[in-house]
Amino acid sequence: MVTWIESGSTKPKIGFIGLGIMGRPMAKNLIKAGYDLTVYNRTTAKTEEFRGLGARVGDTPADVAKGSDVVITMVSDTPDVEEVILGSQGVIHGARPGSVVIDMSTISPSATREIAQKLAERGVEMLDAPVSGGEKGAIEGTLSIMVGGKKEVFDRCVPVFEAMGKNIVHMGPNGAGQTTKLCNQVLCSLTILSMAECLVLGAKAGLDLEKLLQAVSGGAGGSWSLSNLGPKVIRGDFSPGFMVKLHQKDIRLVLNLANQLGVSLPGTALANQLFNAVEGQGEGNLGNQAMIKPLEKIAGCEARK
């Protein structure tokens, strides 16, 4: 049988598992790009919208995989990915030889390699393709996508990635995409921390915070976090583009990898402690800009306009 990888077709049938803050707009963009989509979500209410958009709804991850050339997973953590791919009703039990599983969650690189090996034993290819850009990037289809896996499989899947993102880079074998994402999360954590410290200092000094952002965003200290999360903070908007509890999950993966490699990451460890403080206040579902809250409490001020 000729597989999709061998067929030359540019429009594989896609299964999409996980319709959360990121997965929902990513799946919508695949529909907009003309892909035939089957979706699955543990909370079934989230699938009804997609039925109305012409997608099919699978009963289980295995059911989704049976009719798909490519299955994308976008769930919260390593155990969730292991369950939807390798569990008793997982993708592995429905995926055809020659099909491709693309995990776009952020999980452990070592777990990724283990999952890829188990899929390979069934003749199923795997790419790890975590993303960066937050909910805004997912909605606008401008995500950065960092990919690990066989180059020839990546090349066939580029059109699928292009429906969801703009900066798409093949990083190497399985696990390399996840390792790249962890490096990205070091940068994200520390730019959020620098944004938070900047605004707290400015607020305590009595500066106009909107003018402060205007003044520094275009200079050497500018960053995505400053331009996108800074305005949210001063408006008092802590709605999640990316939840504190999920960002902290990523930091734990970073610090675990750093421990394995004997690498010191003191800034990331500090960011982890600030997120711990936010979670300790029962605010883990807030956006990661809430890292500023413990710093505001220490300073005795709020960085609001």
Contact partners, residue 138, CB within 8 Å, separation at least 6: 21, 22, 24, 25, 26, 29, 131, 164
Token pair belonging to 253: 């993966």
Catalytic residue among 66, 181, 249, 293: 181
Identify the pLDDT of residue 1: 47
The CATH number that domain 180-299 falls under is 1.10.1040.10
User: Which among 165, 127, 168, 167 has a CA at the least distance from the CA of 148?
Assistant: 127
**Distance in angstroms (rounded) separating the CA atoms of residues 24 and 39:** 10
**Distance in angstroms (rounded) separating the CA atoms of residues 265 and 267:** 6
CB 189 within 8 A of CB 251: yes
In degrees and rounded to multiples of 5, residue 302 shows phi and psi of -120, 135
Every domain of the chain and the residues it spans:
4-174, 180-299
Identify the pLDDT of residue 6: 67
pTM for this predicted structure? 0.94
- Give catalytic status of residue 245 as yes or no: no
The residue with tokens 């606008």 is: 140
Superfamily of domain 4-174: NAD(P)-binding Rossmann-like Domain (3.40.50.720)
Rounded mean pLDDT for each run of 10 residues along the chain, 305 residues in total: 63 97 98 98 94 97 97 97 98 97 98 99 98 95 98 97 98 99 98 99 98 96 96 98 95 97 98 98 98 98 96
Provide the CB-side half-sphere exposure for 237 (13 A, CA): 9
The residue with tokens 């883990």 is: 284
